[in-house]
Amino acid sequence: MIKTHKIKMYPNTAMCLVLTQLFNYRRYCYNQALEIWNEMYDESVLMADKSLRPNERKVRNELVNNKQDWQFDQSARVLQLAVNDLAKGWQNYFNLQMPNHAQPRFKSKKRSKNSFKTDRAKIVAGKLRLDKPRGVKDWY
């Protein structure tokens, strides 16, 4: 059974800045992964070689190998979860029994509702505990 919790947060200004950076980095990773996935898929269809078909591991390794310097300051877990979500999106696209099986699309910055997904959050003493980012002092 999968548990999901939606928690409304009231972050301070330092946390707002860090969370905004994480939102933007996650969207960037998702869009980069989708671009790589589409290229790999088109190449596999063109060559008619199923061994070239993209999967989560191939796309993640490609993103990690092509990381830019500024990306090393960001959480690696954000990149992994973005690629994982993309892989699930493609899996749902090819499953015709899914009610909304549309091809994954690029994420837009104009989306009004920011969301963040993590698998390492804990609730301790009634408070949400998130991983502390590198270089941030005021994190509670």
**pLDDT > 70? residue 112:** no
Residue 8 falls within a domain, yes or no?
Answer: no
Residue 2 falls within a domain, yes or no?
Answer: no
Residue 125 falls within a domain, yes or no?
Answer: yes
Residue 111 falls within a domain, yes or no?
Answer: yes
Amino acid identity for residue 108 in this structure: S
Domain count, the chain: 1
**pLDDT > 70? residue 23:** yes
Q: What is the pLDDT of residue 138?
A: 66
| Mean pLDDT over each residue of the chain, to the nearest integer | 82
**pLDDT > 80? residue 86:** yes
User: Whole domain around residue 71: which residue ranges?
Assistant: 13-129
For the full predicted model, state whether its pTM sits above 0.85. Answer: no
Residue 60 falls within a domain, yes or no?
Answer: yes
Residue 71: count of CB within 10 angstroms of its CB: 18
Q: Which residues have a Cβ under 8 Å from the Cβ of 61 and sit 6 or more positions away? A: none
CA dihedral 10, 12, 13, 16 (to 10 degrees): -40
Least confident of 13-22, 60-69, 79-88: 13-22
Residue 138 falls within a domain, yes or no?
Answer: no
Residue 135 falls within a domain, yes or no?
Answer: no
Residue 78: count of CB within 10 angstroms of its CB: 22
Residue 37 falls within a domain, yes or no?
Answer: yes
pLDDT category at 140 given cuts 50, 70, 90 is low
Q: What is the pLDDT of residue 84?
A: 92
pLDDT digits (tens, 9 = 90+) for 116-138: 677 777 777 877 777 777 777 76
